[in-house]
Amino acid sequence: MQQQVHFQQGSENQVAFVFSCPGREEEKAGYPAAKMTGINLAKLFVVLNEMKMKDYHFTRERVTITNAWTNVEYDAKTCRSEATNEEVLSPDNLNRLLAELAAVTELIVCCGQKARLAVQALAAENRLKAGTRVVYINHLGMKSINQITKDIHGEPIVAVAKHPDRFTLKPKEIGGANTHKRLEVVAAQIKKSLLGN
């Protein structure tokens, strides 16, 4: 399995996840989607697997993980957290991303705005494999995930500080349950796109 700080080739070609760019944690780890993003990705895989869609089994080893931009970006290193739209949309960068996604046959999950921008550009030019579905979700970092305010039933997700069980449960327990609810929402978006319903 080919792996770089921005790219990890999956052992199967059904699904790819595209993030914005590697950052400090990916640079330390030496692979894409590290630390909290990676933890949330692993939790999302668990939720997706519980849904038992077709013959899919989501694991880090099976899916391809890449980024809309290859360079490591974080404030202390590059004075920014991601690439510009122009850099992401440059022909060389789009050709690189296309090569990394060329084998993907069923689903490309775009995590965040830069991923969406790059994959939309490829889709607009009909450069993705025919029949491949594309779904756009929030980035899987906590800042972005926490923007999901309702669970899959449309009920509000109550913040730890206002949660009715805050005096009997540990904040980490409430926070973990809230993250799970948010990832269920993300998984439902992916399932809807994958199954076409």
The rounded distance, in Å, linking the Cα atoms of 127 and 80 is 30
The pTM assigned to this predicted structure is: 0.93
Q: Tell me the CA distances in angstroms from 44 to 19, 98, 100, one per residue in order.
A: 14, 25, 22
Write the single-letter amino acid at 73: E
Q: Please tell us whether the domain made up of 15-146 is placed in CATH 3.30.9.10.
A: no
Q: Which pLDDT score, from 0 to 100, does residue 124 have?
A: 95
pLDDT of residue 197: 54
Q: How confident is the model at residue 120 (pLDDT cuts 50, 70, 90)?
A: very high
Mean pLDDT of 146-173: 92
Per-domain residue ranges of the chain? 15-146
**pLDDT at res. 3:** 76
Q: How many CB atoms lie within 10 A of CB 31?
A: 18
Q: What is the pLDDT of residue 57?
A: 87
Contact 119, 93 (CB under 8 A): no
Tens of pLDDT, residue by residue over 55-84, are 788 999 999 999 999 999 999 999 999 999
In tens, the pLDDT along 2-38 reads 679 999 999 999 999 999 999 999 999 999 999 999 9
Q: Kindly state the percentage of the chain with pLDDT values over 70.
A: 98
Q: Sorting pLDDT into bands at 50, 70 and 90, what band is 92?
A: very high
Average pLDDT in the chain: 94
